[in-house]
Amino acid sequence: MRLITWNCNMAFRKKAESILKYSPDILVIQESEKLEQEFLNNLMLQPNQYFWYGDNKNKGMSVFNFSSELSLTELEGTVENNRWIIPFNLTSKTYNFNFFAVWAMNHRGNQVIDKVRPIYRTFKGYSDYLTVPAVLIGDFNNNVIWDYQHKSHLGSFSDLLQLFREKDIYSCYHEYNQELFEQENQPTLLFRKNAVDPYHIDYFFCSKSILNNVNRVLIEKHEDWLHLSDHVPVIIDLKKANAKQNMESKVTNMIERYPLKDAGRTMCVFEKNGKYYGHILKDRTDKEPAKILFETQKFSSLEELKAEFTPREN
């Protein structure tokens, strides 16, 4: 199964063939106009299902299902002011999981309510849909680098990641590539097509049970897409759910993050194959991003690691 998300920067009808040549089964397009049936009938791939969400017919979110073996069913219940986080149930012969198409409009259309950030509020409201296997894909418009802007509000990106971890949901890109948030080597956005403003804000999150079936994670090259959009596609290939695989060597879960006794240092704790280790970071400052200083040895338990690398007392 191939899933793709791409913020097309509007006028999708002029750009459709560029992404459809990748043969997606599920395709989520942010900043897409509402497409007429006549246009859909003439696409190089015929959608089995098409959904569109938005306030402006020229700029919303399109969700396509191109596979006759898959079915998307919209789930009941909406969270107030959730532009645009749409829950579905996806079923096939080998998969059954909840699927969220995401275009987080953090500025327009979304306002802080009761000091809670909008995307956190929305996923908290959809909490029951996250207790079963789930996939969340799209433009989240956020990263931990902007946490400092939301200190007075609940729902920073780190708060959202913690909410996901409590549901055993992880970022496919970060787990697959063993990279930390804020340390991404591959940006998904060149803001306003400017190479000096690279950000990683488009994600594929999934439950651990699905993460083990990830076959490939691909973020396209900006030089191939800048003539179309300041975002690049994020492409995920899943194996059949009943296929034999051994992904343990590629899947590492960050289970905790805590400040160390040494000022300006943070520990990120990982678990892999029953062993625990950490990355010690030099914290981000106004002048420099966070940096990995070194990786610890492996420990048999989290308690042993914390005994060696003591958390800072509150």
Question: Tens of pLDDT along 164-223?
Answer: 999 999 999 999 888 888 889 899 999 888 877 899 999 999 999 999 899 999 999 999
| H or E element at residue 150 | none
For the chain, helix, strand, coil in percent to 5 are: 20, 35, 45
pLDDT digits over 222-236, tens only? 999 999 999 999 999
pLDDT at position 286 is: 59
* Domain of residue 301, residue span: 253-308
| 217 in the same domain as 270 | no
User: How confident is the model at residue 81, as a pLDDT?
Assistant: 55
Contact status, residue 51 vs residue 72, Cβ threshold 8 Å: yes
Instruction: Report residue 17: phi and psi, to 5°.
Output: -65, -30
260 and 179 co-located in one domain: no
Terminal Cα-to-Cα distance of the chain (whole angstroms)? 46
Distance CA 38, CA 266 (A): 55
Inform me whether the pLDDT recorded for 311 exceeds 80. Answer: yes
For 25, 260, 310, the CA distances from 307, given in Å and listed in that order, are 48, 11, 6
Confidence of residue 290 (pLDDT cuts 50, 70, 90): low
Residue 200 lies in a domain: yes
Residue 160 lies inside a defined structural domain of this protein = yes
Query: Do 219 and 151 fall within a single domain?
Result: yes
The answer to the question of residue 313 being in a domain is no
Confidence at residue 250, expressed as pLDDT on a 0 to 100 scale: 43
- 160 with 300, same domain: the answer is no
pTM: 0.77
Residues 207 and 266 in one domain: no
Same domain, 191 and 260: no
What pLDDT score does 109 carry? 39
What does the pLDDT look like over 75-113, one tens digit per residue? 976 655 567 899 999 999 889 999 999 999 755 434 666
What's the pLDDT score for residue 289?
Answer: 55
pLDDT of residue 291: 66
Is 294 in contact with 269 (CB distance < 8 Å)?
Answer: no
Given a cut of 90, is residue 18 above it in pLDDT? yes
User: Are 156 and 286 contained in the same domain?
Assistant: no
Torsion of CA 138, 143, 146, 147, to 10 degrees: 110
Indicate whether 314 belongs to any domain: no
Domains in the chain: how many in total?
2
Dist. CA 98–CA 89, nearest whole Å: 4
Task: Indicate whether 137 and 264 sit together in one domain.
Answer: no
Which range (38-42, 107-111, 244-248) has the least confidence?
244-248
pLDDT of residue 113: 63
Distance, in Å, from the CA atom of 9 to the CA atom of 229, rounded to the nearest integer, reads 5
Q: Which of 198, 233, 248 is the last residue of a domain?
A: 248
Query: Do 143 and 234 belong together in one domain?
Result: yes
Answer whether residue 135 is part of any domain: yes
The answer to whether 157 touches 122, Cβ cutoff 8 Å, is no
Query: What is the domain-level CATH number for residue 96?
Result: 3.60.10.10
Q: Is 190 contained in some domain?
A: yes
